[in-house]
Structure 1
């Protein structure tokens, strides 16, 4: 049943409205009546009617003031104005304040019943829409989880459908400039048998809470995460302002998670971090890199944080690994072999010697290779112009960058872009 409130200073009008309309037949019950706007407002706050029939000219508080007060109190009934005044200003003000109809007295019952039917249809449609939206809101987390899971698994590759889902789910993360972090609970099967359901849920809840606090609550980037499987958590991050310390900040966040867990639980986790993904179509590869890094642990007895590049040079001496890492962390700056050697506390000549011996390359060749690799990724993202890519990878002279790019790849940056699309 819909609730109706009648507000009119004329007793005979109120009585007539009660008795001449078959309200029950419309599925409406009259829950109250008032002789002025002040009393009507009190009843409206208390009874929350779906429909209000109100006069315009009443003592103490007239109908227009009454409607304004309803708006101020966030009450949104369907209001039908009953008035003896055929004045455009009254009509305009009434409609502006939310009236759905304006009827002149004496009331034509046929006209009123037709309006009532329209109002009932509006209310029914609005309630059905609200119910649908509320149901959809409840399902959004599950839909988002499935979408992200399908995206990183490579099960959805149609760029149109991807963008449609991103828009529909209101996801703010830029998948064309993001990192992926995979967090997995070590020895999950053993933990399931060792811990009670309550203890296991407490552990997973705490991981969720830490991710929400440390990643989602971080003002430096946009991020989204899901509990992809019982043992795996997926975090996707894009920085609001890109800088050379992005990976370091991600590692700091991961370290906070590990340290907090260590204080409260004996169980351990493994965390893998990808490189920057510059195209939503490369999300699957980026996820696989993060997963590979996550799985590249020597022991499950301790928690680990591994970036994909940290495992790329296994088997090489420490100085080589640290030099490559130095290049990856600082490639967009004006760095030299002397800078790297100083960071490693070795001589430049010794560093040049072992690079040539172990990799067959000079420091500058290693730096150029990595810069061009990053340039290729950035060029695939159509939002960057060639000169912007040049600057972002450490070349201030775009003409020189183009020469180096062509020498390395056999194509100019423009030709490379055309070949990819």
Structure 2
């Protein structure tokens, strides 16, 4: 059963989603509602939803910022983004933070149902986590603040092609050598090794969406060289990006 959180500043929209969908038949249950991103973060902390359906433009904190904070906090919830604005910049920002789907308002109930079903399929397809996913789920309780800050920085900046050990170390205020030592000691991975795994993890999500070409996905996850992205992806998954995408169709 997927736990669903609905975030929209219009109460009538939230009610329409709650009442217009046969949640039980989809294997879902609505566990909470929120009127803006700040309330959404609090509700996500309280209910630990598997799926968040959120508007983009809301007072106090918009949906994109809410997603960014959720990812920094380690949330792996699937997110379906709703917006009245047909703007690729919004879509790109949402996808950067792992949105599973993007629907334009006004939408029909069946469009939302189809998006939810796609999320369920993806959740089931990836329920058997690889070593790569295990790394992304590193328990944070015993990690030093520098390791936690590194994880958060990578989650927020992995799409930046210029990110490297220097920029990461500078952002958290320690030397490159100390960062490398601490991160390797506490996770058994190098910081750049983790960055690569995180990028490929996000690339898998984008490829599974099937709306983007391989070269577009490469750019979205921080690779300027499409060939290098392809070889890295195949090394870690056993499939080329196009082969992986074909299996998700």
- TM-score, normalization: structure 1? 0.35
After superposition, the CA RMSD in angstroms is 4.3
Could you tell me which residue of structure 1 aligns to residue 34 of structure 2? none
- Alignment partners' CA distance in 2, 1:325 and 1:186: 17
Equivalent of residue 361 in structure 1, options 172, 189, 207: 189
1:150 shift after superposition: 2.0
List alignment gaps of at least 5 residues for structure 1.
Answer: 1-138, 157-179, 188-210, 222-234, 248-274, 287-308
- Alignment partners' CA distance in 1, 2:19 and 2:191: 44
- 3-state DSSP class of the match of 1:408? helix
C-alpha contact 1:310 1:325 (8 A) present in aligned 2: no
1:331 shift after superposition: 0.4
Could you tell me which residue of structure 1 aligns to residue 216 of structure 2? 388
1:337 correspondence with 2:159: no
Could you tell me which residue of structure 1 aligns to residue 176 of structure 2? 348
Could you tell me which residue of structure 1 aligns to residue 76 of structure 2? none
- 3-state DSSP class of the match of 2:100? coil
- Alignment partners' CA distance in 2, 1:185 and 1:220: 15
- Alignment partners' CA distance in 2, 1:149 and 1:358: 45
Could you tell me which residue of structure 2 aligns to residue 408 of structure 1? 236
1:348 shift after superposition: 0.2
- Alignment partners' CA distance in 1, 2:163 and 2:45: 39
Could you tell me which residue of structure 1 aligns to residue 100 of structure 2? 278
Could you tell me which residue of structure 1 aligns to residue 59 of structure 2? 214
Could you tell me which residue of structure 2 aligns to residue 321 of structure 1? 148
Say how many residue pairs are matched: 174
1:212 shift after superposition: 8.7
Going from structure 1 to structure 2, the CA distance change for 1:214 and 1:353 (only over 3 Å counts) comes to same
Could you tell me which residue of structure 2 aligns to residue 167 of structure 1? none
List alignment gaps of at least 5 residues for structure 2.
Answer: 1-11, 30-38, 47-55, 66-78, 102-114, 124-135
- 3-state DSSP class of the match of 1:351? helix
1:283 shift after superposition: 6.3
Bigger CA radius of gyration: 1
| 1:317-354 deviation line (CA, Å, top 9, x unaligned) | 11111001101111011111111111111110010111
1:146 shift after superposition: 2.5
1:315 shift after superposition: 1.7
* Greater relative CO (CA pairs within 8 A, separation 6+): 2
1:145 shift after superposition: 1.7
| 1:36-75 deviation line (CA, Å, top 9, x unaligned) | xxxxxxxxxxxxxxxxxxxxxxxxxxxxxxxxxxxxxxxx
| 1:167-195 deviation line (CA, Å, top 9, x unaligned) | xxxxxxxxxxxxx94644999xxxxxxxx
- Alignment partners' CA distance in 2, 1:375 and 1:155: 26
- Alignment partners' CA distance in 2, 1:393 and 1:320: 21
Going from structure 1 to structure 2, the CA distance change for 1:140 and 1:399 (only over 3 Å counts) comes to closer
Structure 1 stretches of 4+ moved >3 Å: 139-143, 151-156, 180-187, 218-221, 235-240, 242-247, 283-286, 309-312
